[in-house]
A and B are shown apart, each in its own frame.
Chain A
């Protein structure tokens, strides 16, 4: 089959590789009909995530048709149309029982790799996201092997086209969980840093969960435009205004009730602190650049919540813990518990409360994946989301 393989920093290639096989009794093989490039794939593309190996198959947002199931998979059969969650969960450990699917104990064969760094084994296995997260072959391919297929994939009705349900695999639940983590109350204002795909869905979700106002922050006019039109948010361009001041002014001096960092470890900024972060990350003394996170913590109102769907992997400097402590903030973060949100979000899509396909700007053949990565990374052609068809 054809698959998108990582070959080093900013080097992805479409290669011919063997078809996947059933390896464990709870596996299934899915013939992929649609797959997407995620913002977090850009961290891999840029070489910021350790434990990648040449030849690794990328991709963790995919859906398709079941073609084969292992002997212990009884809920799926060949021909079923499914969306596959990017987190792999066993469904029977301590964490899965508590619906912390992304912390699953048993799905990541390499969980001990970051034990010294994180103080425990890491979370669940992920598709196509480095060996630290299991080293599973990803879904930017014609076929994928799905472990614990009796727990993860959700069947989708024939009436809904791929583009409406594909993002159940990651970014829609990720944006939704980010908003849910804000514990939104009537009258709340939510500020969202980063108007990429997760930011767009966080904006939509904040409104679905009852926010009064959502203020979206970015520097790319086309992304702010989408936040305004698709998300119905008020927008701030941080290249033009001082964000802290603007937010205080817009909220009657209080600050937003909740702040969402949908940017993560490769933040961009204009302050002295961001130059410092670039320099330290350049020599690998700091692994993550937390400009957005710092702003979110400082901007948030007293007693508010900072929710972090943006990905961080290592260390950050100049973390404003004093501001967080003094204001009694709640910080919520972590990989998305995708399994929890599949059914409720599928129902919202069916009821027409949200149409996730509204963020797609680029549709390409799988063979054009290298161009897709470059266009998305460089934010060329007003690129927001790339969907690939095998």
Chain B
């Protein structure tokens, strides 16, 4: 019998099934018999690692136990996320174009100082109260449509980024597409990258974009930090 149930689910099935069987047997009548029967079926499923229901549905949870490290690293080379914002491309472009606004919604950015039309200096927070810094220049831009930038000079975190603003269908505002690219690094440099983009870069950027959307649509970012809570 092939396995199609993950280890975690098998253990849960064995424990739950045994408990149910005992519960069922301890009760009189039809309901007890049904509970015992369901319990028995569950325990069998757990011990054998095979679920006929999953087979019929073409499902399997058997492979979900192992995490694939190599895959995670290859994903870190480039990240692309998009969000639809209920504002015009002009408004969004104008806000983003002033890079000093970015730390307002990008969680890991500490500050950005703009020097001139093309050049800026970025500071991101890193673990243990450290920071990583780099200079950036705008490499390409088209008003109200897109901005592209890259880090310059000697930095431990070379990176490039771009943002594109495309009008969404009638009445739906703007589709914003952000792309970030960088070289995967091992060791300390790898850690510096993690500080920039979080443990899961794609998710981190998605969250930054959610905050950007909230700020643009409502003027604030919803929070519960600082609200009361019971003593526990």
- Cβ–Cβ contact A108 & B230, under 8 A: no
Q: Is B217 an interface residue (CB 8 A)?
A: yes
A111 nearest in chain B by CB position? B210
Q: Is B189 an interface residue (CB 8 A)?
A: no
A107 nearest in chain B by CB position? B222
> Among the listed A6, A90, A108, A280, which residue makes an inter-chain contact with B217, where contact means beta carbons less than 8 Å apart?
A90
Q: Is A23 an interface residue (CB 8 A)?
A: yes
B53 nearest in chain A by CB position? A317
Q: Is A47 an interface residue (CB 8 A)?
A: no
Which of A15, A106, A109, A285 has the most chain B CB within a 10 Å cutoff? Answer: A106
Known: A112-B207, A275-B31, A279-B39. A24 touches B227 (CB 8 A): no
In the bound complex, residues from chain B placing their C-beta under 8 Å from that of A225 are none
Q: Is B60 an interface residue (CB 8 A)?
A: no
In the bound complex, residues from chain B placing their C-beta under 8 Å from that of A53 are 229
Known: A15-B231, A17-B230, A94-B172. A134 touches B224 (CB 8 A): yes
In the bound complex, residues from chain B placing their C-beta under 8 Å from that of A21 are 226-227
In the bound complex, residues from chain B placing their C-beta under 8 Å from that of A1 are 228
Q: Is A77 an interface residue (CB 8 A)?
A: no
Residues of chain B in range 13-29 having any CB-CB distance to chain A below 8 Å: 13, 16-17, 19-20, 23
Which of B34, B35, B232 has the most chain A CB within a 10 Å cutoff? Answer: B232
Q: Is B206 an interface residue (CB 8 A)?
A: yes
Q: Is B130 an interface residue (CB 8 A)?
A: no
Q: Is B84 an interface residue (CB 8 A)?
A: yes
Q: Is B173 an interface residue (CB 8 A)?
A: yes
A24 to B17: give the CA distance in the assembly, Å. Answer: 49
- Cβ–Cβ contact A135 & B222, under 8 A: no
Q: How far is the CB of A131 from chain B (nearest CB, A)?
A: 9
Residues of chain B in range 200-232 having any CB-CB distance to chain A below 8 Å: 203, 206-207, 210, 213-214, 217-232
Digitize A253-286: 1 where CB-to-B-CB distance is under 8 Å, 0 elsewhere.
0000000000000000000100110011011110
Q: Is A97 an interface residue (CB 8 A)?
A: yes
Q: Is B38 an interface residue (CB 8 A)?
A: yes
B84 nearest in chain A by CB position? A94
Label chain A's interface by main secondary structure: loop
Q: Is B42 an interface residue (CB 8 A)?
A: yes
Q: Is A3 an interface residue (CB 8 A)?
A: yes
Q: Is B6 an interface residue (CB 8 A)?
A: no
A131 nearest in chain B by CB position? B224
A238 to B111: give the CA distance in the assembly, Å. Answer: 64
A272 to B34: give the CA distance in the assembly, Å. Answer: 8
- Cβ–Cβ contact B34 & A275, under 8 A: yes
- Cβ–Cβ contact B230 & A56, under 8 A: yes
- Cβ–Cβ contact B220 & A24, under 8 A: yes
A90 nearest in chain B by CB position? B218
- Cβ–Cβ contact B231 & A106, under 8 A: no
- Cβ–Cβ contact A134 & B222, under 8 A: yes
Q: Is B12 an interface residue (CB 8 A)?
A: yes
- Cβ–Cβ contact A279 & B20, under 8 A: yes
A94 to B228: give the CA distance in the assembly, Å. Answer: 31
A90 to B220: give the CA distance in the assembly, Å. Answer: 10
Digitize B131-148: 1 where CB-to-A-CB distance is under 8 Å, 0 elsewhere.
000000000000000000
In the bound complex, residues from chain A placing their C-beta under 8 Å from that of B34 are 272, 275-276, 279
A24 to B219: give the CA distance in the assembly, Å. Answer: 10
- Cβ–Cβ contact B222 & A24, under 8 A: yes
> Among the listed B38, B210, B213, B228, which residue makes an inter-chain contact with A17, where contact means beta carbons less than 8 Å apart?
B228
> Among the listed A17, A141, A147, A284, which residue makes an inter-chain contact with B231, where contact means beta carbons less than 8 Å apart?
A17
- Cβ–Cβ contact B31 & A57, under 8 A: no
In the bound complex, residues from chain A placing their C-beta under 8 Å from that of B185 are none
- Cβ–Cβ contact B218 & A285, under 8 A: no
Residues of chain A in range 286-310 having any CB-CB distance to chain B below 8 Å: none
In the bound complex, residues from chain B placing their C-beta under 8 Å from that of A276 are 34, 38
Q: Is B86 an interface residue (CB 8 A)?
A: yes
A55 to B23: give the CA distance in the assembly, Å. Answer: 33
A283 to B214: give the CA distance in the assembly, Å. Answer: 39
Q: Is A93 an interface residue (CB 8 A)?
A: yes
Q: How far is the CB of B206 from chain A (nearest CB, A)?
A: 7
- Cβ–Cβ contact A18 & B228, under 8 A: yes
Q: Is A132 an interface residue (CB 8 A)?
A: no
A279 to B12: give the CA distance in the assembly, Å. Answer: 14
Known: A57-B228, A280-B38. A23 touches B218 (CB 8 A): no
Residues of chain A in range 99-129 having any CB-CB distance to chain B below 8 Å: 105-109, 111-112, 121, 125
Q: How far is the CB of A357 from chain B (nearest CB, A)?
A: 30
Which of A1, A108, A147 has the most chain B CB within a 10 Å cutoff? Answer: A147
Q: Is A5 an interface residue (CB 8 A)?
A: yes
Digitize A1-33: 1 where CB-to-B-CB distance is under 8 Å, 0 elsewhere.
101011100000101111111011110000000
> Among the listed B213, B214, B219, B230, which residue makes an inter-chain contact with A15, where contact means beta carbons less than 8 Å apart?
B230
- Cβ–Cβ contact A283 & B17, under 8 A: yes
Q: Is A341 an interface residue (CB 8 A)?
A: no
13 additional contacts, CB 8 Å, given A57-B228, A272-B34? A6-B230, A7-B232, A16-B231, A23-B223, A23-B224, A23-B227, A24-B223, A56-B230, A57-B230, A90-B217, A112-B210, A121-B210, A134-B224
Report, nearest first, the 7 A-B pairs whose CB atoms are least far apart: A5-B230, A283-B16, A55-B230, A54-B232, A17-B228, A15-B230, A55-B232
- What would 24 A/B residue contacts be, using CB atoms closer than 8 Å? A5-B230, A7-B230, A17-B231, A19-B228, A23-B225, A24-B221, A26-B219, A54-B230, A54-B232, A55-B232, A57-B229, A90-B218, A91-B218, A93-B86, A94-B84, A105-B214, A106-B218, A112-B207, A272-B30, A279-B20, A282-B20, A282-B23, A283-B19, A285-B16
